[in-house]
Structure 1
């Protein structure tokens, strides 16, 4: 065994020892020396209390901090180096160490954390730094005593029985032993040589086993990867001074480890909050440049140092990581980190197949982060659990943090490109279940798009929860099958999914019961409420395809997120977005109009006829049908009628809140909204149902133009599904009560008349049910909106007046006339008189006096935009509001 020249290594070791030298360090050191208060960025202000601080073991992380003497890190480069105060500071330091030793040096005193493996190592590192500085500052007796304490600690660390092999705790033990062997001249050379040999042998064994072939550290955390690499660099720096045989290996190891350390950094120069990551700016690491890599320096400094890396994606199937960014050097770039990793038990979270996504400088799909290491703390348990990550939970039970099944979580790379990748993560660690998640990232016109396919396969029936933890800076707007994310009122992301099973979407924030859900840990020991979206479903298998968009969104922003918005969300198993508008008139306070929406473009979920209802002054309830990508007729999701039940519950709750009964309920809507108004009005026992051109044979209607809606409602598009959905409204008519009055307006030229309304009318007549139908000649379906608005207003106003009479006005081109002619039909009760004025633009061009004629005709009209104002007079001479038709153009 060759003799080691310790002297040439001292300078390199000194650089590894703690040496806080800034003003903040000085302030903390002086505060402990003068006021007896230990100040920690992590734990706050701790009362030293004459050494009683060491007896508190209730907070394990804090106890490890104080028993490891980590607070002395602030002393070495400040008060112990100042000529004016170094003497008193040295005496104070000796006093603190003696106080600790009098109670805990023999390792028999409770709390046992005093001799925790890593804590003991950290204490020796601090003692080594003190010995290095106190030689000329304390008396010989104190110095010898301090050295003996350090030797005893080194002997403990050198023993095989105490050594924590295979993890970074053992690494710290061996680093402490290495530093001590080099720095402590008072120790016999033979002992120093032994400590040196033991530590370097163990360090080589640890480093060679703790990185995989990808150069990724096995402890599942990017910051631990960087931290261990820093110590590899430090050991390399020390051993290079004596041309140690391991130096070449450490150079190659750092070279291999550079890629992951670089790509795992977010655009802001921090690592994502995965596993036990401590989030901080890595600017210091960029300046130290332990990898001797300009690309790492660039990533760690957020583009301020070094040179831009060449690749934007990194996929490491053996390690279980797939990383993407849209650009280097842009702090607002998009960054995705997908983890299908279980590389070791250390620092492992139950995060199998979790996806983290950041864009525009904001965490969008995030993770809770780590709360601490006290496994008895419920927040710590939550932080490790599946509920704190974006993954799958089976039967309400999180995956265990660790088990003996690491080989059951894998990552497969299908395609890796400069602008994205397609990979599949798979875990079979779940109870009786395999979960596969395929992430497909690609760029369209430079903007990344994310598609996530979740496939779940089980042997038996289970309940499942798919979680999306959101960043603390974003606010969600949740829909039936997805959500939007807003930051300071600006939309940054939306996610819309389709599934082959019924699903239930809910949002949670800062919950503690029945279990912890919706929390974010900005740093260890700090918890803030944060939103999590939960998608629940049951069965043996399921496939969910989620489209995540950062532009070209799935959902049209309709202002539900605005601070001034009065939109609310019901809290049933199926959540509903709704707008409740109070009555604006005394007569209107006695009625509630519930308005159902028609079909709009995919992703455009809004309400209809609000201006019309506002004119009546009645209470109004607008419910969004934002299920699937174009709605679900307020009915079902893959055959499950929870949507229907939730809508009924909301209507009942609103009636109860207003002190009204079902007799005071008016349901309304046209086209799809008309179908829903009849279904829900009949089921609720509404007093009035007022609809325009509804679809009755819903399955037949959807089969060709909207199979997506048919599939969502029924779970299939086959003939059985069509027939079953066609029957729904006819079955509803069977339960129609005499107290519910249905009024339908439809155009004669509208296919809804012959294919839907007429069959319903005939069915109702044959079964002794009353359905009133007003048929307007020449009116196609495309023009029902303006006519229905007038029809709706008239019917509601008559309800408010207590009248059962109705008026319908219709201005149209007759098919047999030339294009310069207009016809006006007025449907009004018998005995009423009608007068009219015809307007071209704002000018009245003709008027007719009161009379009983119900049809008026104007011919040879000059080109222009025309509409008619209709005045009515009933036999009782009571007030009847006038009606104005929509505009028609004469060309």
Structure 2
């Protein structure tokens, strides 16, 4: 039956060929420039080394060694001029010949992707399409036919079979295409290839869809990609007279429901698992899912037949999907995951919730970044940390489990129970037992109203532990570009100044909230991946608690907001001159202390240098950079003065919010960021440490007088005022003006005016740490700095009057210098000559000259330039 003409016609449908008119220009560009397109983005020159060398980029290697660019070239063949068509055929033959000589005949030494299982299948599909569609010389056809036969032989090898997965499926599709279109009718390998492919495809398709009709590889786009072959194989095996055709016919009907309901209101698939966000209304997809419902979903209601139900659950597969309306691009759409159907493309996304409403991703996931496992962003995309899920003791779920663990688990590792699945009401509970010694249940209730904004989400998270207390962290990823205002018990989410959502957390346990965005180290957090290899910062809310057994209710509101009263801004929501103020939040281990650092430097400039010792000491920091620029660029004299008030108000609110959590804030400022920091510190009776304090306006500016009067009034009315002033040689007149307004009750404690500003800045981070820890009694108050002018360390102990000191200099753990005079020197100030270079620490030994107890401490890192 393989010689039946309809078999060949049906086999051609298996070939990946683009037939659109735009392929002509792609083919002409390749001929003109001698380049090829590798995937959607990359272009590579037609040079053996440049084309097939891929480094760590396995996706690039797949496209190059799989010859996937042929989908454009073959489609363009019949549309080119005769001369162009001949040139294209010559180029194809040239590339296959070069590949075969460089790699095909040297499999033992070829790179991995040259003989990757699915890549080899794509290469054979490309070869078959070339042999079937392009005009070739006799010599070219002979060489390519021989290469195709060798490739088919390889695909038949049991040890080369990719297995019961989509890689194995492509191998078998390639064998069917080769047998139906290229193989010699007298070659016994033809029928052997057909029978083997048919048997393996039957085995695969019997196992690759769940009883709900969902493809097991955990991703809507893979569901569609595999489903696309159901009608093709149905038609092919029907033409060949094979009873296998009935299997594919039955599966096609079952696969449509999931394909329809996973489509978001804007006619794409949600960014869950390894989804590629592409248009869905292609000819191939519309021919796969007949009946009109998929067409309606994939065209956002422009064509097709509206589905009869708005809520669909797939309990055997672990998915639940609901929407407020069909055909409304602003509809609310929710996708809930508690799935583990196969290891392929599995993300650690149990319990994750995706919410889109009003045309915006509100609760979302990072998405897929790529397949290069060496890239930290690829690993992050698969991890729990990239989903709206749970992390325990800093660790998420493993991506997969050993098969013996997964299949033997009773009760199952993951479970989705459906209570209600109506158009306007969804109630489901997802349970995962993959956390070692813990069971996490997330109950989700979705109520739809008469408009998208009337949708409400109610969640109940319950963690039961048999292994004791752990650090629990629930993550809520938000869409890129959204602005978040944290509250003590939730968050408000804005698009610029328009509120889109409130998310409120209710629990009897003690929780803390943290907001991160665009963090790269120590590990990525707060990112969205719109395309493979692309990343943009996106906010993520971390809800943290420490407990054994834990429960928390979460409510998500899209209107009817309960936090509508006018509130003073925080740094998370502060907007000056229509721009949000970028801040960094660095977590720490010190439980009841934190630092608010208002900086004059531009965003990220000098941040690490200024915060190094704080990070090492585990002191949490909120770092707000670029304050003088924000003030001076506010737009007018009045707005600049208002910007100072806005910064001060945000600082006050931050301090009070931290105080409500039992955390004492030390305010640190430098340069012209002094004014809002001083106002906040003295308004809240918080300690202040300031380096070279200056006002942001000129000396004779009336705003300077008003600011000075306000600060002086706050100091006079604050009996607990505490300022630690550090002075270098920078702007002495302006600094003295600011110091004067602090009053005689606040003397300069660290007069380093003989030193360069850069030297003092190098030590300022250590001074902040010492100021915080000395105030709590956890450290001796000291000043230590390196003076490059005199090439010496300067040490001062301001709270001692009678002491002897000895100093040793360390670089890392190595002692590199000891004081050259008496082991102990009397006095509270000491100069230690030193001519080294790089980061060093001082080990300072103290003793009472009258014979009292000795003490010792180590400074933070001091940079020696």
Per the TM superposition, whether the score is higher than 0.5 is yes
Match of 2:547 in 1: 539
Whether 2:464 is the aligned partner of 1:457: answer: yes
Q: Is the contact between residue 38 and residue 68 of structure 2 (CA under 8 Å) also seen in structure 1?
A: no
For 1:421 and 1:262, locate their aligned partners in 2 and report how far apart those are by CA, in whole Å: 18
For 2:499 and 2:243, locate their aligned partners in 1 and report how far apart those are by CA, in whole Å: 57
Match of 1:730 in 2: none
Residues 646-685 of structure 1 correspond to what in structure 2 (within 5 A)?
Answer: 646=664, 648-650=665-667, 658=674, 667=683, 681=685
Q: 1:492 aligns with which of 500, 509, 513?
A: 500
Match of 2:257 in 1: 259
Residues 600-615 of structure 1 correspond to what in structure 2 (within 5 A)?
Answer: none
Match of 1:97 in 2: 96
**How well do the aligned residues superpose, as a CA RMSD in angstroms?**
3.6
CA drift at 1:191: 2.3
CA drift at 1:472: 1.4
Q: Is the contact between residue 508 and residue 518 of structure 1 (CA under 8 Å) also seen in structure 2?
A: yes
Q: Is the contact between residue 239 and residue 246 of structure 1 (CA under 8 Å) also seen in structure 2?
A: yes
Q: 2:661 aligns with which of 636, 643, 660?
A: 643
Q: Is the contact between residue 151 and residue 187 of structure 1 (CA under 8 Å) also seen in structure 2?
A: no
CA drift at 1:322: 0.8
Q: 2:424 aligns with which of 404, 410, 419?
A: 419
Q: Is the contact between residue 24 and residue 79 of structure 2 (CA under 8 Å) also seen in structure 1?
A: no
For 1:78 and 1:663, locate their aligned partners in 2 and report how far apart those are by CA, in whole Å: 70
Aligned residue pairs, count: 636
Residues 614-625 of structure 1 correspond to what in structure 2 (within 5 A)?
Answer: 621-622=648-649
Whether 2:127 is the aligned partner of 1:127: answer: yes
SS of 2:228's partner is: helix
Shifted more, 35-44 versus 559-568: the winner is 559-568
SS of 2:198's partner is: helix
For 2:139 and 2:565, locate their aligned partners in 1 and report how far apart those are by CA, in whole Å: 76
When residues 557 and 267 of structure 1 are mapped into structure 2, their CA distance, relative to the original with a 3 A threshold, is farther
Q: Is the contact between residue 157 and residue 177 of structure 1 (CA under 8 Å) also seen in structure 2?
A: yes
SS of 2:500's partner is: strand
For 2:677 and 2:480, locate their aligned partners in 1 and report how far apart those are by CA, in whole Å: 42
When residues 118 and 286 of structure 1 are mapped into structure 2, their CA distance, relative to the original with a 3 A threshold, is closer
CA drift at 1:412: 1.2
For 1:54 and 1:35, locate their aligned partners in 2 and report how far apart those are by CA, in whole Å: 17
Match of 2:613 in 1: none
When residues 625 and 505 of structure 1 are mapped into structure 2, their CA distance, relative to the original with a 3 A threshold, is farther
For 1:661 and 1:230, locate their aligned partners in 2 and report how far apart those are by CA, in whole Å: 62
For 1:188 and 1:375, locate their aligned partners in 2 and report how far apart those are by CA, in whole Å: 45
Whether 2:514 is the aligned partner of 1:506: answer: yes
SS of 1:423's partner is: strand
When residues 117 and 466 of structure 1 are mapped into structure 2, their CA distance, relative to the original with a 3 A threshold, is same
For 1:211 and 1:125, locate their aligned partners in 2 and report how far apart those are by CA, in whole Å: 24
Shifted more, 73-82 versus 102-111: the winner is 73-82
Shifted more, 340-349 versus 21-30: the winner is 21-30
Please list the CA deviations of residues 378-421 of structure 1 after superposition, one character each: whole Å capped at 9, or x if unmatched. Answer: 11111111111110011112211111354312111122221021
Q: Is the contact between residue 121 and residue 157 of structure 1 (CA under 8 Å) also seen in structure 2?
A: yes
For 1:48 and 1:150, locate their aligned partners in 2 and report how far apart those are by CA, in whole Å: 22
Q: Is the contact between residue 498 and residue 546 of structure 1 (CA under 8 Å) also seen in structure 2?
A: yes
Q: Is the contact between residue 576 and residue 623 of structure 1 (CA under 8 Å) also seen in structure 2?
A: no
Match of 1:31 in 2: 29
For 1:660 and 1:360, locate their aligned partners in 2 and report how far apart those are by CA, in whole Å: 38
SS of 1:463's partner is: strand
CA drift at 1:42: 2.9
Whether 2:455 is the aligned partner of 1:448: answer: yes
Match of 1:314 in 2: 312
Q: 2:278 aligns with which of 260, 277, 280?
A: 280
CA drift at 1:192: 1.8
Q: 1:17 aligns with which of 10, 15, 18?
A: 15
CA drift at 1:29: 1.9
Q: Is the contact between residue 324 and residue 449 of structure 2 (CA under 8 Å) also seen in structure 1?
A: no
Q: Is the contact between residue 496 and residue 546 of structure 1 (CA under 8 Å) also seen in structure 2?
A: yes
Shifted more, 18-27 versus 523-532: the winner is 18-27
Residues 50-65 of structure 1 correspond to what in structure 2 (within 5 A)?
Answer: 50=48, 52-65=50-63
SS of 2:448's partner is: strand
When residues 318 and 507 of structure 1 are mapped into structure 2, their CA distance, relative to the original with a 3 A threshold, is same
Q: Is the contact between residue 356 and residue 362 of structure 2 (CA under 8 Å) also seen in structure 1?
A: yes
Match of 1:597 in 2: none
Q: Is the contact between residue 577 and residue 623 of structure 1 (CA under 8 Å) also seen in structure 2?
A: no
Q: Is the contact between residue 341 and residue 409 of structure 1 (CA under 8 Å) also seen in structure 2?
A: yes
Residues 363-762 of structure 1 correspond to what in structure 2 (within 5 A)?
Answer: 363-404=361-402, 405-406=405-406, 407-446=412-451, 447-458=454-465, 459-556=467-564, 558=566, 560=569, 561=573, 562=575, 564=577, 571=585, 621-622=648-649, 634=656, 643-646=661-664, 648-650=665-667, 658=674, 667=683, 681=685
Q: Is the contact between residue 409 and residue 426 of structure 1 (CA under 8 Å) also seen in structure 2?
A: yes
For 1:660 and 1:204, locate their aligned partners in 2 and report how far apart those are by CA, in whole Å: 71
Q: Is the contact between residue 496 and residue 554 of structure 1 (CA under 8 Å) also seen in structure 2?
A: no
Q: Is the contact between residue 649 and residue 680 of structure 2 (CA under 8 Å) also seen in structure 1?
A: no
For 2:646 and 2:150, locate their aligned partners in 1 and report how far apart those are by CA, in whole Å: 82
CA drift at 1:285: 5.1
When residues 25 and 618 of structure 1 are mapped into structure 2, their CA distance, relative to the original with a 3 A threshold, is closer
For 2:459 and 2:151, locate their aligned partners in 1 and report how far apart those are by CA, in whole Å: 53
SS of 1:460's partner is: coil
Q: Is the contact between residue 431 and residue 440 of structure 2 (CA under 8 Å) also seen in structure 1?
A: yes
CA drift at 1:252: 1.2
CA drift at 1:460: 1.5
SS of 2:252's partner is: helix
For 1:395 and 1:442, locate their aligned partners in 2 and report how far apart those are by CA, in whole Å: 33
Unaligned stretches of 5+ residues in structure 1: 581-613, 628-632, 668-679, 686-737, 743-798, 803-891
For 1:666 and 1:138, locate their aligned partners in 2 and report how far apart those are by CA, in whole Å: 85
For 2:578 and 2:507, locate their aligned partners in 1 and report how far apart those are by CA, in whole Å: 30
Q: 2:221 aligns with which of 220, 223, 226?
A: 223
Match of 2:177 in 1: 179
Please list the CA deviations of residues 824-875 of structure 1 after superposition, one character each: whole Å capped at 9, or x if unmatched. Answer: xxxxxxxxxxxxxxxxxxxxxxxxxxxxxxxxxxxxxxxxxxxxxxxxxxxx
CA drift at 1:579: 14
Q: Is the contact between residue 42 and residue 524 of structure 1 (CA under 8 Å) also seen in structure 2?
A: no
SS of 2:8's partner is: helix
For 1:29 and 1:663, locate their aligned partners in 2 and report how far apart those are by CA, in whole Å: 67
When residues 619 and 398 of structure 1 are mapped into structure 2, their CA distance, relative to the original with a 3 A threshold, is closer
CA drift at 1:666: 5.9
Q: Is the contact between residue 319 and residue 335 of structure 2 (CA under 8 Å) also seen in structure 1?
A: yes
Q: Is the contact between residue 501 and residue 542 of structure 1 (CA under 8 Å) also seen in structure 2?
A: yes
SS of 2:201's partner is: helix
Please list the CA deviations of residues 790-846 of structure 1 after superposition, one character each: whole Å capped at 9, or x if unmatched. Answer: xxxxxxxxx9999xxxxxxxxxxxxxxxxxxxxxxxxxxxxxxxxxxxxxxxxxxxx
SS of 1:181's partner is: helix
SS of 2:282's partner is: helix
Q: Is the contact between residue 567 and residue 578 of structure 1 (CA under 8 Å) also seen in structure 2?
A: no
Whether 2:274 is the aligned partner of 1:269: answer: no
CA drift at 1:224: 0.4
SS of 1:455's partner is: strand
Please list the CA deviations of residues 135-178 of structure 1 after superposition, one character each: whole Å capped at 9, or x if unmatched. Answer: xx332222111111101111111122211111100000000111
Shifted more, 150-159 versus 499-508: the winner is 499-508
Q: Is the contact between residue 103 and residue 109 of structure 1 (CA under 8 Å) also seen in structure 2?
A: no
For 2:57 and 2:371, locate their aligned partners in 1 and report how far apart those are by CA, in whole Å: 9
For 2:318 and 2:268, locate their aligned partners in 1 and report how far apart those are by CA, in whole Å: 20
Q: Is the contact between residue 488 and residue 657 of structure 2 (CA under 8 Å) also seen in structure 1?
A: no
When residues 308 and 457 of structure 1 are mapped into structure 2, their CA distance, relative to the original with a 3 A threshold, is same
Please list the CA deviations of residues 517-563 of structure 1 after superposition, one character each: whole Å capped at 9, or x if unmatched. Answer: 11111111212222211112212122221110111124216485555
Unaligned stretches of 5+ residues in structure 2: 407-411, 599-640, 689-715, 721-740, 745-865
SS of 1:232's partner is: helix
For 2:74 and 2:663, locate their aligned partners in 1 and report how far apart those are by CA, in whole Å: 69
Match of 1:151 in 2: 149
For 1:146 and 1:620, locate their aligned partners in 2 and report how far apart those are by CA, in whole Å: 71
SS of 2:207's partner is: helix
When residues 119 and 622 of structure 1 are mapped into structure 2, their CA distance, relative to the original with a 3 A threshold, is same
